[in-house]
Amino acid sequence: MKSLSGKQILILVLVAVLIAGGVFFIAYFDVKKEPVVENDVEEEIPFSTHEVIGQSVEDRDIEVYTYGNGATHLLFVGGIHGGYEWNSVLLAYRFIDYLENNQEVVPDGLRLSVIPSANPDGVYKVIGEEGRFSMEDALEAEDPASGRFNAHEVDLNRNFACKWKPSSYWRGREVSAGTEPFSEPEAVAIRDYVLDNEVDAGIFWHSQANNVYASECENGVLSETIDIMNAYAKASGYGAVETFDAYEVTGDAEGWMASVGLPAITVELSTHEDVEWGRNLDGIEALFEYYGK
């Protein structure tokens, strides 16, 4: 048999190398082209969350606590009038504690958010310290009415974009409504939270008129607002009032919600001294039943 020349051997080696390289190349890219297996386990959404949604004029946190993962989102707000209505803040914290300790009461279809203190600077004016506070502290305050306003001396419940005027009224007293709608950071925090988090209805706690009021702006009262006003009032024993006409109110938060098509009610406790927990829990549970249908 004729032996191969050196040139022929070199050619055979090169062919073998090319064949081997081609096999490697094909195998390598076949591996690369294998589909990535997606992890089909959905990330669990936490049942409860806490976040800071803004700061007051004096840089105090405005916080929101949320419970549940349902599609219908209810927002409860306390303390928009700060230390003047300090029991509305305590009521909101009482509700937070109740939800923390009784998570099973939150209906599957609901998500509940609570802003306990929408005007922390106003609370500070009366209490003089940060954080949660007691009824005793508030009752000993020399001038609780001074805590109604924020650090710019603006009534925050006159600073929203519903029939806004630069000055408004509270019990016949002229009060500042700010330089324009949403000039105050506290009002901006509430507005942005409502719009960014698909809030379906708002419940604002105040004191002391012993009534539940419907909200309206330029287009009248929403039918759902009447429904939730009556549900809360009937269960709690507060009166139900469709239209507040004791004096002109402009720029209120509830009216602004109505202006963007969202139902909102004002729940006025009967005094400045008590959270009236049993009555309000009955009202809250009536809303659970209404929205759980």
pLDDT, tens only, 279-292: 999 999 999 999 98
- Domain 48-291 -> CATH class: alpha beta
Strands 264-269 and 211-214: antiparallel
pLDDT the model gives residue 2: 47
Quote the longest CA-to-CA distance of the chain. 122
pLDDT at residue 239 in the model: 97
In which residue ranges of the chain is pLDDT below 50?
A: 1-2, 4, 6-7, 9-15, 17-37, 131
Q: What is the pLDDT of residue 142?
A: 58
Check residue 27 and give its pLDDT.
45
pTM, two decimal places: 0.82
Give the separation between CA 40 and CA 195, rounded to whole angstroms: 31
**Type and span of the H or E element at 25:** helix 6-32
Give the C-alpha separation, 15 to 154, whole Å. 87
Sequence-distant (≥ 6) Cβ neighbours of residue 277 within 8 angstroms: 91, 94
The residue ranges of every structural domain in the chain are: 48-291
Residue 31: exposed, middle, or buried by beta-carbon count in 10 A (0-12, 13-18, 19+)?
Answer: exposed
Residues 228/134, Cβ–Cβ less than 8 Å: no
| Structure confidence at residue 276 (pLDDT) | 98
pLDDT at 32: 42
d(CA 131, CA 139): 17
**pLDDT tens per residue across span 193-231:** 999 999 999 999 999 999 999 999 988 899 999 999 999
